[in-house]
Structure 1
Amino acid sequence: MQFCSTRDIRHIVSYEEAIFRGLAPDGGLYHPVKHPDLQELFASLNPGMDFTAIAGKLITALFPDYFDKDKAKEIAEKAFPFSPELVHLDNKLYLLELFHGPSCAFKDFGASFLATCMEEFLKQEHRKAVILTATSGDTGSAVAQAFYKKENIDVVILYPSGRVSPLQEKQLTTLGANIHALEVKGSFDDCQRMVKEAFMDTELRSTFNLTSANSINLGRLIPQSFYYVYAYAQLKDTDKAPVFCVPSGNFGNLTAGVYASIWGMPTSGFIAATNANDVVPQYLAGGEYKPRPSLHTLSNAMDVGNPSNFERLKALFGSREKMAEHITGCSISDKETLETISRYHKKKQTFLDPHTAVGVLASERYMQKNPAHNIISLSTAHPGKFLEVVKQATGEFPPLPDRLKEALNKQKQATLIDNSLDSLSDFLRKKIK
C-alpha cells in the first residue's frame, strides 16, 4: 500500500514514511492511494480463528513489502498479547469488548501495533524519534503504556487540565522514563491544535524527528481495522452482514471500520454514535459541517468539536450523500447515557462505561427501525476507568482490574503549560535530548 495526503494526491509516501511523518507536509492526513481487495482473505476466515492469526493475515496482505508471513506473525504476537472479545448483550445486539489491553481501552490495539512497528524500523536504521500526541483521555494512557521504555523513542503527551477522568490522568502521568505528560491549560481542541502547529513548524519537526500516535497516524488507525474483521469472523455464518456501531469522537475508530469494509469485509453499514458533540451526525442528517468548540460531557474521550478524521472520511466518500449511504449518525445526551448505564445494570447486572453506553443506546434506536440486522457495538473502555460516572448511574462502583488499581496508587508526574506552541516548544528544547 502507498499513501497520499488528503489534500494532495500527488504527495505519495510509503507506510514507513507515513507513520513517522504522522501529518502530511501540507497539513493533510495520509490515506491509501488505492485500497486492496481482500475478499478472498475474508472468505477464508472462520469463527474459530484467534485474533493474532487474523491480524497476522491482514498484516501480510496490507504490508507485503515490510512483513512476510513469518515476520507478520511475529509482529502480531508482539503487538497483541491481548485480544478483543465478542459477547452477546441482548437480542441481536453484541458488544465487541476492546478493553482487555494494558490501559483498558480500545486504543491499546492501534498504539501497541504502532509502537511495535516504530521500534522495529528505528532499530534497523539506528535513529531516534519523538512521539507528540494529544489526548482527550484514552489515547494518552494507551500511548503511554504502548511506548513505555521502547528503544530510541521519547513520548510527549498533551492533555486538557481537569478534563480527563482521575484514573485516565493517573495512567498517562505516572510512568516516567521516556513518557512525558504535559497538562495543558485548555481543551482537547487546544491540545490537538498545538500538536498540528508543531508538525507544521519545519525547524521543530526536523530537530526532534517528530511524529504522532494520535489517530491521525495511519500506523495506529489501520490496525484498528483488525478487530472489526475479527468480530465479523465470529458472526460470519449469520444471515445478514452485521451493522457496526462506533462511539465516536475524533472518528479514527469509525474510519478504520470503513477501511475494512472497502477492502471487502461484508457489513450492512455503520452507526456513528456521539455525545452532545454531534457535528458529524448533524452533517449526515443533511446539515452543513460546522466545527465548533467541544462541549464537556460524561463521555469525555468523545468531547471533540472538530474531528480530525472527518477529513479522511470526506476524502474517501467525496460527498455527504455518499457518506450517508454507509454511515448513520446518532447523538446521545448525558441524561440518556446515565439512564442506559442504570438500565443495563438493573436488567443484565452488567456495567457499561459512558462511551459504551452511548453506543448501546444508539444501537437500540437503530434496531427499532432495522430489526433484521445483528449489531456489533464497540465497547471502547472498561467501566472501571469511569468510576464516578458509573457510580452516579448505578449507585455502585464497578470492579477494577488489577492494572487499574496499580495506577491509582502511583504518583502523578506532569508539567503544567499554557495552550500555545511557544510553551510546547520551550518544553521540547529543555527536556528532550
Structure 2
Amino acid sequence: MKLYNLKDESQSVDFETAVKTGLGRKQGLFFPKQLLPLNNIEALLKMDVHQRNYEILKPFVGENISDEQLSQIIQKTFAFPAKLKNVTKNEYCLELFHGPTLAFKDFGANFMANCLQSFVDEKPITILTATSGDTGAAVAHAFHGLKNIQVVILFPKGKISELQQKMFTTLGNNIHTVAVEGSFDDCQQLVKQSFDQAELVETIGLNSANSINISRLLAQVCYYFDAFAQLPVEQRNEVVVAVPSGNFGNLCAGIIAKTLGLPVKRFIASTNVNDTVPRYLQTGQWSPKETIATISNAMDVSKPNNWPRIEYLMDSDQFDSNALTGGAVDEDKTAATMRELYKHGYISEPHAAVAYSGLHESLQPGETGIFLGTAHPAKFKSTVEEILQLEIPLPEELAKCSVKDDLSTEMTADFSKLENYLYSLKK
C-alpha cells in the first residue's frame, strides 16, 4: 500500500520509507489515499488477538515485511492486553495501560521499534519526539539500548506529572531527555522545524516517534477491534466510543478502524479546556488558543498534529463527519467525574474521566458506550489521591524509577540550541 504526503501528493512512499522518514516534505503527514474495508468483520472478531491484528496490519505493511516477520512483530508488540472493563450496565472502559510503561502509547511505540529493527540497516538513526506525558516513557522504553539508535525526547518543563517524567528521564544510555521552557506545542514545533533542515535530517538520520509516524497510528487501530471482540455480541450494534484527545492520534486510529469496517456508530472527541477541535466542529473555524496547563496534561495541546489525517478522511468521503462530535471538560468537571466513577467502584485518572464525561452526557437509550483509559491512575498519584481522598499504591514499574535521578538537560524553546544539541550527539 502506498502512503501519500497529505501536503504534497507527488510524494508517495512505501511503509518502510514512511516509518524511517516520519514526516514528508513540507512537514506533511503520510497516509493512504484510500482505505479498503476488511472482509468479514464478524469472523475477524472471533479470531485470537494476534491473528486478528495480523489481518488488520498486513495490507499496510505487506510490501516491506514478510509474513513471518509480521507475525513475530505482532507477537512482540501485543504481548500485553487491552482490557475491556465493565463500569456500568452499558458503559465500559477500554484499559490500555497494561503495558511496560502503563499507558496506551506502549502499543504504538513497541510496534514502531519492532518494525525499525526488521528493516536491517547499519545507518544510525536519531529519533526526535515531543511528549505531553506518556509518549516519552513508551518511546524511551521501546528503544532503550537498541543498536545504532539515539532517542531525544522533548517535554514541557514542569508541565507533566513527576512520575510520568521519571519513567523516561532516568534511563540514560541512548535515551536523551530535554526539559523545554514552554508548552507541548513549543516542543512539537521544535520537532517540526528539525525536519525542515535537510542537512540535519541526513546527517543524523532524523526520525520521529510521535503519532505523526504512521507505524504508531496503525498499531493503535488494532485495539478498537479488540474492544468489540470483548463486548457481548448483543451490545455491538449501537456502540459509541469516547476518546480523550490531545494530539488526536488515538481518535484518528479509531476512525481508521471504522473506515476499515468496524461498526462504531459514532465517536466523541473529548478534550480538556484546550478545545481547538470541539470548537472547530461546532463553528467551522480553526482558531487555536494559547495552551492551558491542566490536570489532564497529556491533552494540553492546542495544535493537534493528527487532525489533518482525520480531516482528509472526511474530505475524501471515507468517514462521515456526522459520526463525530466533540466536547470540552473543565477542571471541576474532570474532578467531579473522577468522583462519580469512584462511586461506581472504578478508580480513574483525569484523562479517562474527561472521556467518560463526554460519553455519559451523550449516550442515548439503547446505545453502548466505550471510553478509553489511556494511563494507569498511579501515574497521576497525587492528583488522584487528592481528588478521591484515598491512597493508591505504586505499581512496581513506577516504584523502581521514582527513586532514580532525573538525567534531563534544560533548554529554552530555541531551535538553534536544539540543532546544536542534536549535532553534538553525532560526535
TM-score, structure 2 normalization: 0.96
Which residue identity does 1:380 align to in structure 2?
T
Q: CA deviation at 1:151?
A: 2.1
Q: CA deviation at 1:246?
A: 0.4
Percent identical among aligned pairs is: 40
Q: CA deviation at 1:241?
A: 4.1
Distance of 1:126 and 1:211 partners within structure 2: 15
Range 191-200 or range 74-83, more displaced: 74-83
Which residue identity does 1:13 align to in structure 2?
V
Distance of 2:246 and 2:320 partners within structure 1: 17
Q: CA deviation at 1:147?
A: 0.9
Range 135-144 or range 58-67, more displaced: 58-67
Q: Is the 1:384–1:399 Cα contact (8 Å) retained in structure 2?
A: yes
Distance of 2:414 and 2:159 partners within structure 1: 18
Question: Partner of 1:269 in structure 2?
Answer: 266
Q: CA deviation at 1:33?
A: 1.9
Q: Is residue 62 of structure 2 the alignment partner of residue 81 of structure 1? A: no
Question: Partner of 2:387 in structure 1?
Answer: 393
Question: Partner of 2:95 in structure 1?
Answer: 97
Q: CA deviation at 1:152?
A: 1.8
Name which of 390, 397, 400 aligns with 1:403.
Answer: 397
Range 235-244 or range 206-215, more displaced: 235-244
Distance of 1:69 and 1:430 partners within structure 2: 39
TM-score, structure 1 normalization: 0.95
How many pairs were matched up? 426
Q: CA deviation at 1:323?
A: 5.6
Which residue identity does 1:344 align to in structure 2?
L
Which residue identity does 1:189 align to in structure 2?
D
Q: Is the 2:411–2:417 Cα contact (8 Å) retained in structure 1?
A: yes
Q: 1:18 to 1:271 in 2, by over 3 A?
A: same
Question: Partner of 2:178 in structure 1?
Answer: 182
Distance of 2:197 and 2:36 partners within structure 1: 34
Q: Is the 2:341–2:348 Cα contact (8 Å) retained in structure 1?
A: yes
Question: Partner of 2:61 in structure 1?
Answer: 63
Question: Partner of 1:310 in structure 2?
Answer: 307
Q: Is the 1:249–1:301 Cα contact (8 Å) retained in structure 2?
A: yes
Range 327-336 or range 227-236, more displaced: 227-236
Q: Is residue 153 of structure 2 the alignment partner of residue 157 of structure 1? A: yes
Secondary structure of 2:191's counterpart equals: helix
Distance of 1:95 and 1:180 partners within structure 2: 34
Name which of 163, 166, 186 aligns with 2:162.
Answer: 166
Question: Partner of 2:105 in structure 1?
Answer: 107
Name which of 249, 255, 260 aligns with 1:258.
Answer: 255
Q: 1:46 to 1:258 in 2, by over 3 A?
A: closer
Q: Structure 1: state its 5+ residue gaps.
A: none
Q: Is residue 233 of structure 2 the alignment partner of residue 237 of structure 1? A: yes
Name which of 424, 428, 432 aligns with 2:422.
Answer: 428
Range 285-294 or range 275-284, more displaced: 285-294
Q: CA deviation at 1:167?
A: 0.4
Distance of 2:128 and 2:302 partners within structure 1: 21
Which residue identity does 1:140 align to in structure 2?
G
Q: CA RMSD in A?
A: 1.7
Range 180-189 or range 6-15, more displaced: 6-15
Q: Is the 2:129–2:191 Cα contact (8 Å) retained in structure 1?
A: yes
- Taking the TM superposition and a 5 Å limit, the aligned residue runs for 1:410-425 are 410-425=404-419
Secondary structure of 2:146's counterpart equals: coil
Q: CA deviation at 1:236?
A: 6.5
Secondary structure of 2:246's counterpart equals: coil
Q: CA deviation at 1:83?
A: 1.4
Distance of 1:258 and 1:53 partners within structure 2: 21
Range 194-203 or range 281-290, more displaced: 281-290
Per-residue CA deviations over 1:158-179 (Å, capped at 9, x if unaligned) read 0000001000110110001110
Distance of 2:425 and 2:5 partners within structure 1: 32
Range 6-15 or range 88-97, more displaced: 6-15
Q: Is residue 189 of structure 2 the alignment partner of residue 193 of structure 1? A: yes
Which residue identity does 2:374 align to in structure 1?
T
- Taking the TM superposition and a 5 Å limit, the aligned residue runs for 1:318-397 are 318=315, 324-345=321-342, 347-367=343-363, 370-397=364-391
Distance of 2:76 and 2:66 partners within structure 1: 15
Distance of 1:71 and 1:417 partners within structure 2: 40
Distance of 2:292 and 2:268 partners within structure 1: 21
Secondary structure of 2:123's counterpart equals: coil
